[in-house]
Amino acid sequence: MRMLFLGLLVMFSSIPTMVSAQGSKEKAKALFKRGNAEFKAKRYSDALDAFKNANAESPHPVMLKYIGNVYKEMYDYGRAIEYYRRYINQGQKDASQIRVLVAELQAERSSWPALKLKTNPQGASIRVRESGSPVLGTTPLTVRLPAGPHEFYFEKAGYSSIKRSILFEGRGTRNLTVTLSPLPGQTAVPVVTPPPVTRVPVARPKPLPKVVVTPKVVRQPKAPVETAKAAKPVSVAPPVSNPDPSPSEQSPSGVTQRVDGPATGWNRRTWSWVGMGTGGALLIGGLAAGAIAMGTSADLDTCRDNSACARTDREVAIAGDVAGQALAADILVTTGIIAAGVGLTLYFMSGDAPANSAFMLMPSERGVTATGLLRF
């Protein structure tokens, strides 16, 4: 009798648990159906919530795969791979196919452009595609997404939410900083910046005082002058030409003097070559800048033909580069022509460098003989 009573007690106590488990399965099934409907309608945030709630009500390995599918469509490949691996560890029949899918996602994600996002101030949460999407992380954060425009949402307590359309392109990692605006009545958090680096002046030794040396002038006594007798005429050889004559000092007797002609024209000839050389260099630089501008213009045409690039910040940046390079080419070519013209004008105005001339006065029997050397 006692054993019968205990058996009935155990049977009746397990009835509520069975009813509760049955209710959880029915609720999970309804959530799963709603998640499928939201997924087909591309409302991925709602589909993700439905699948996660269904898995919480009644855990099942299939839910892990469906959650991974939602993250895959949201381009959150990191979390998609996480749920796919949890599904593989459950030992399902299609585990080998999911392993191949994980490898494909990893290879595709490694080729995506990367963007390092920062906010002022830092610590803002980032969402992609929809304002209700799961938070990718907080700034600073590096995000990898397929090439093309993507909608980003930045949120931080005490600041207005910001929506930005960001174009992912190229290779490597780019940087982008977004400034958040505080809500009315809120005080902006001051941005801490590193203090300026102070340069310590280097002590330099003081210059030594200059020593002024005053030369002494030593006067030699004058030697007695003797009167010379009449000398026989001496034949004077013609003066030997010096390739680079220099002015001669007056002799003590005052009868021999050498006069050199002025040398002019060297400066003009030198500056003419400088002007023509500078003009030629500027012309070459202008032609190079023009070639670069033509290449950038071709990139602008390609961008305008691409719907993902047209009418974006990228197009505006390329158009600005084309205008700047064309202006630089015009300035270099115009300046080069002017400089070359000035140098050529100086070249024809300078003429040949005039040669130096020298004259000498020599004593003779009847007076003074003038001997000259003219160079042309």
d(CA 168, CA 15): 58
CATH of the domain at 84: 1.25.40.10
Point out the domain boundary residue: 50, 81, 110: 110
Q: Are residues 260 and 361 in the same domain?
A: yes
- Which residues constitute the domain of residue 294? 272-347
- What is the predicted pLDDT for the residue at 300? 79
Q: Which tens digits make up the pLDDT trace of 328-363?
A: 989 988 998 998 888 888 787 776 555 455 556 566
Q: What's the confidence (pLDDT) of residue 366?
A: 65
Nearest one of 7, 27, 24, 26 to 16, comparing CA atoms: 24
CATH of the domain at 133: 2.60.40.1120
* Domain final residue, candidates 179, 212, 232: 179
Q: In whole angstroms, what separates CA 144 from the centre of its chain?
A: 22
**CA 272 → CA 263, 279, 280, 336, distances in Å?**
18, 11, 12, 14
pLDDT of res. 344: 82
pLDDT tier at 119, thresholds 50, 70, 90: very high
Cis geometry, peptide bond prior to residue 121 (ω within 30 degrees of 0): yes
Identity of the amino acid at 228: A
Residue 297 forms part of a structural domain: yes
- In a shared domain, residues 307 and 342: yes
Q: How far apart are CA 371 and CA 130, in angstroms?
A: 105
Residues 92 and 140 placed together within one structural domain of the fold: no
For the chain, what is the domain count?
4
Could you report the per-residue pLDDT of 190-220, keeping only the tens digit for each?
A: 555 556 666 655 556 666 666 665 666 556 6
Quick: pLDDT tens for 28-47: 889 999 999 999 998 998 99
User: Is 305 within the bounds of a domain?
Assistant: yes
Distance between CA atoms of residues 128 and 116, nearest Å: 14
Whether residue 231 has pLDDT greater than 90: no
Convert the pLDDT of each residue in 175-188 to its tens digit. 899 999 999 876 65
In angstroms, rounded to a whole number, what is the distance separating the alpha carbons of residues 297 and 288?
14
Residue 256 lies in a domain: yes
Strand segments (E) across the chain: 114-120, 125-128, 137-138, 141-144, 148-155, 162-168, 173-179, 258-260, 358-364, 367-373
Give the list of residues 6+ apart from residue 360 with CB closer than 8 angstroms, or none. 239, 248, 256, 257, 258, 370, 371, 372
Which residues contact residue 296 at a Cβ distance below 8 angstroms, ignoring those fewer than 6 apart? Answer: 318, 321, 322, 325
**Quick one: 254 and 277 in the same domain?**
no
Chain centre to alpha carbon of residue 202: 33
Domain stop point among 110, 138, 154: 110
Structure confidence by residue, pLDDT tens digits, 283-332? 899 899 889 988 988 887 888 888 778 778 888 888 889 889 899 989 98
Which residues face 308 on adjacent strands?
none
Is 36 in the same domain as 68?
yes
Are residues 362 and 259 located together in one domain of the fold? yes
pLDDT band for position 371 (cuts 50, 70, 90):
low
Both 97 and 83 in a single domain? yes
Domain-embedded: residue 223: no
Structure tokens at 166: 């960001």
Q: In this structure, are 120 and 140 located in the same domain?
A: yes
User: Are 358 and 258 contained in the same domain?
Assistant: yes
pLDDT attached to residue 331: 94
Block residue for tokens 């993700």:
48
